[in-house]
Amino acid sequence: MSDFYHEGALELQRRLDTHELAAHIAKRYVSDELDDDAVALITDADSFFLATADTLGRPDCSYKGGRPGFVQVLDRRTLAFPSYDGNGMFRSLGNILVNSAVGLLFIDYERAVKLRLNGDATVSTRQVDLSAFEGADAVVNIRVREVFENCPRYLHDRKAGEYSRHCPRPGYVPPDPDWKRKPEYDGIVRRTGVR
């Protein structure tokens, strides 16, 4: 994980005095393979967000959706998903052909869990790969480089139609998220003291 943070991230960690927290999280919670919880979240997902970039580093983000199970976990370090019929632009998959680095964001709104996954992707249009996914035009395979849960405190409750109680606003001090109150974070996180 020594290359998990680049110089830009490290500079902001220094400016905002979060370097100890960031180092702790990277050491303890960032992995190069999926654990059982990550596998369950991914295989239950009916959607995720995919970030790619072209050869000049210009980013693109797209929503990918399907029936639960449309993202297959092939092993603890590999997953695959189908590309279904769309608008024919192939911005995301085209980017993968010239720059294999990808980022995926899975969100389980009901359990308030966000899972981030970074890896390297390939695109296949071979019939042997397409046959594993009904209706696929192409298949994207991803080799996991980093996977980690991400703080879900700003997720809104779409079912109840309520904004997260952690969102700042005038005259209101948001409560600390539960994770900040764990003993492992004593002395390395800022706390409001509000429960």
DSSP string, 120-176: EEEEE--HHHHTTSTTEEEEEEEEEEEEEEE--TT--BTTTTB--TTS-BTTB-PPP
In the predicted model, is pLDDT for residue 1 greater than 60? no
The answer to the question of residue 155 being in a domain is no
Same domain, 145 and 187: no
Q: What is the mean pLDDT of residues 114-119?
A: 98
Domain match, 97 and 170 both = no
Rounded to two decimals, what is the model's pTM? 0.93
Domain count, the chain: 3
Torsion over CA: 35, 37, 38, 40 (sign) = positive
Domain of residue 107: give its range: 32-150
Within this chain, do residues 105 and 180 fall inside the same structural domain, yes or no?
A: no
In this prediction, what percent of the chain has a pLDDT beyond 90?
Answer: 90
pLDDT band at 192 (very low <50, low <70, confident <90, very high): confident
Q: Are residues 83 and 144 in the same domain?
A: yes
Same domain for 126 and 178, yes or no, is no
Same domain for 85 and 181, yes or no, is no
**Whether residue 36 is found in the same domain as residue 109:** yes
pLDDT band at 195 (very low <50, low <70, confident <90, very high): low
And the tokens for 31?
A: 């992995």
70, 132: one domain: yes
Task: Count the Cβ atoms, other than its own, within 10 Å of residue 35.
Answer: 12
How sure is the predictor about 46, in pLDDT bands with cuts at 50, 70 and 90?
very high
Same domain for 193 and 176: yes
